[in-house]
Structure 1
Amino acid sequence: MEIIEKLTEKIGAGVQENVPLAPYTTYKLGGPARYFFIAKNNEEIKTAAAAAKDLDLPIFILGGGSNILVSDNGFSGLVIKMANRELGVEKNKIKAEAGALLGRVVSLAWKNSLTGLEWAAGIPGTIGGAVRGNAGAFGKSISDSIKSVETFKLLSPRSIAGRGAGGEGIMTKEECQFTYRESIFKHDDDLVVLGVDLELQAGEQAAIKQQMLDCVQRRSCGHPKYPSAGCSFKNIFVTDEIRKKIRKINPAGEEKIKGGKIGAGWFIDQAGLKGYKIGGVQVSDEHANFIVKVDETARAEHALMLISYVKQQVRDKF
């Protein structure tokens, strides 16, 4: 029996073969998934993961595809596309399944006069992806509003942090080990976010809406329109040594330090790399921390080469 037949037998008729992944990402780059399944609820996610495990297939969990670069060779195993999107509100709390779009969660908070997520207005991707990467902007992050996270151990059914033998359970905010753009989920590929409980504050609906519009406006003014994976590099914490370097490079750079950090794009800009191009990918002319796809000759390999080149140039110059 072929693997596709075995997967179909275990999961259902929704399993597909050789599905292009580029349309499922904001970068619009990359090759196909050998096997692809859209999981509409948590049980389907668990069933698909178990089937892949039984068949010794690599597994990749795909959310909104807004912060990933898929290899030109694609993925040789099973890609499980998260489409578990249930949302609920109770008083000042929102319960969201991982596949829910972040924009829907932000909108739900506004409609219920709950403040705390305005900064996320206009950010693509899913709430699950936001939790995994501790997404944030304008000095705030999703972990500020997290009460707990529902999780599932993908491959290793060991009991940790209150989970049962099947690896399922609830993790507290502290157990998630959130730091700047980091979490335990980025360092344990077995650990999958199934859902999140957010705790917000009561607010005034009109004021919340205005803050959302302000955030969207700031993004539309400073972010490029070409396909990308968002900012390529994390902002840099400014130590005394880095502050001295900034003064030496360009004294005006001190004005760019916000909340003890400076955007990596500033260093890339100072290195004269805006507009630098490899193949169909280039450093954005609008925002140097964006590596954008500018034409259809672009390949994932070009993006990797350009990211590596930018790193080396900034290291060599600064």
Structure 2
Amino acid sequence: MQELHDAPLAPLTTFRLGGPADRLVTATSDDEVIAAVREADDSGTPLLLIGGGSNLVVGDKGFAGTALVVATRGFTLDGTLLELAAGEVWSDAVARTVEAGLAGVECLAGIPGSAGATPIQNVGAYGQEVSSTITEVVAYDRTTRERVTLTNEQCAFSYRHSRFKADPERYVVLRVRYRLEDAGGLSAPLKYAETARALGVEPGDRVPLDAARDTVLKLRAGKGMVLDPEDHDTWSAGSFFTNPILTDTAFAAFHARVRERLGDGVLPPAYPAGEGHTKTSAAWLIDKAGFAKGYGTGPARISTKHTLALTNRGAATTEDLLALAREVVAGVHEAFGVTLVNEPVTVGVSL
């Protein structure tokens, strides 16, 4: 294992923000990951796990403890069964499944980060979620101090949530297993209207795998959601807020606020989210509350390509970013009575 002290964390995050860690350890095998976790637990040292750093907001003061970079590698394909080590680069793994002619994660192309993060927040985009393909997650249980294998059902997946996110101090993901589909080189049925429209087909249709992947990459790039060191719109964590899921009562109150503010003819986005619940669009809320693309005058601003991404324009601090996030949250709540929730994990700070 590699070990550094007083090590900068900003270069390990897509925001490029945050102060140093007291100690930075890089583990390249499951055994090294477990050893580092056990050492921290035995000594009572705070532990921060880092994969691709695409979902982290680290405070300017840094992290007083051990930051563990999970840099394990492993891509194993057996028929339609895929196993990934937690440290595998997710976007690269998706590309390899498409090359192998297997469907199920092609619309998750271009999402930054590591494979080990995918089950934690049930990564999803363009009509696909990893919960529909994950069969098992191998993890280290910090409570029992054993390796465990959790089934899909035991992972308790829901929208951008899981057992791992609900109890973040307990499990360290080591490996993720997926069951993909051999559809003769075709994608899974397209569920997202924007993707189908861009491909000139109807929702529910299948298209060649590489066409689906390439289209998603183009759509993501147009919104600044594909990492590019030269493009400050990608110095972000992607979508900074989750789409709110409201009870029927709360949605009715929200709809009334929309009519009052924007007029009777304006209908907010509404998607079924389980019995008695409706999901609406965080991006729509932000825009209609007066926060347009490119909003802000300081070093942290809303992306010029997508209202849901908060960005570091190159010289921001974490406090700059949080000030902007708080302004957006307060503005949306004042306008519509809906409280946005941040999607990235905050370290040493909070909204």
Q: TM-score range by the shorter chain?
A: 0.7 to 0.9
CA–CA separation in structure 1 for the residues paired with 2:94 and 2:265: 35
Q: How big is each residue's C-alpha offset from its partner over 1:62-107, in whole Å with a ceiling of 9 and x where there is no partner?
A: 0100011011011111111011120100011101111111112212
Report the count of equivalent residues.
Answer: 296
Matches within 5 A, 1:47-196: 47-154=35-142, 156=143, 158=144, 166-188=145-167, 189-196=169-176
Sort the Cα spacing of 1:217 and 1:253 in 2 relative to 1 into closer, same or farther, 3 A: farther
1:232 aligns to what? 240
Q: Secondary structure at the match of 2:308?
A: coil
Q: Is the 8 A contact 2:257 2:335 kept in 1?
A: no
Sort the Cα spacing of 1:211 and 1:253 in 2 relative to 1 into closer, same or farther, 3 A: farther
2:304 aligns to what? 285
Q: Secondary structure at the match of 2:155?
A: coil
CA–CA separation in structure 1 for the residues paired with 2:170 and 2:20: 22
Cα distance, 1:257 vs. partner? 4.0
The RMSD of aligned alpha carbons is 1.9
CA–CA separation in structure 2 for the residues paired with 1:255 and 1:139: 20
Q: How big is each residue's C-alpha offset from its partner over 1:92-133, in whole Å with a ceiling of 9 and x where there is no partner?
A: 110111111111221221122110101111111011111111
Sort the Cα spacing of 1:197 and 1:221 in 2 relative to 1 into closer, same or farther, 3 A: same
Is 1:210 aligned with 2:211?
yes
CA–CA separation in structure 2 for the residues paired with 1:177 and 1:307: 29
Unaligned runs of 5+ in 1: 1-11, 159-165
Q: Secondary structure at the match of 1:169?
A: strand
Cα distance, 1:255 vs. partner? 7.3
Sort the Cα spacing of 1:23 and 1:169 in 2 relative to 1 into closer, same or farther, 3 A: same
Sort the Cα spacing of 1:21 and 1:94 in 2 relative to 1 into closer, same or farther, 3 A: same
The amino acid across from 2:59 in the alignment is S
Cα distance, 1:223 vs. partner? 2.7
Q: How big is each residue's C-alpha offset from its partner over 1:107-160, in whole Å with a ceiling of 9 and x where there is no partner?
A: 221122110101111111011111111110122211110101001123x2x3xx
CA–CA separation in structure 1 for the residues paired with 2:324 and 2:265: 27
1:9 aligns to what? none
Q: Structure 1-normalised TM-score?
A: 0.87
CA–CA separation in structure 1 for the residues paired with 2:242 and 2:36: 33
1:8 aligns to what? none
Is 1:261 aligned with 2:279?
yes
Q: Structure 2-normalised TM-score?
A: 0.79
Sort the Cα spacing of 1:305 and 1:255 in 2 relative to 1 into closer, same or farther, 3 A: closer
Q: Is the 8 A contact 1:278 1:305 kept in 2?
A: no
Q: Which moved more, 1:67-76 or 1:255-264?
A: 255-264
The amino acid across from 1:152 in the alignment is Y
1:198 aligns to what? 178
Sort the Cα spacing of 1:248 and 1:117 in 2 relative to 1 into closer, same or farther, 3 A: farther
> Which structure: greater helix fraction?
1
Unaligned runs of 5+ in 2: 187-207, 226-230, 273-277, 337-351
Percent identity of the aligned residues? 30
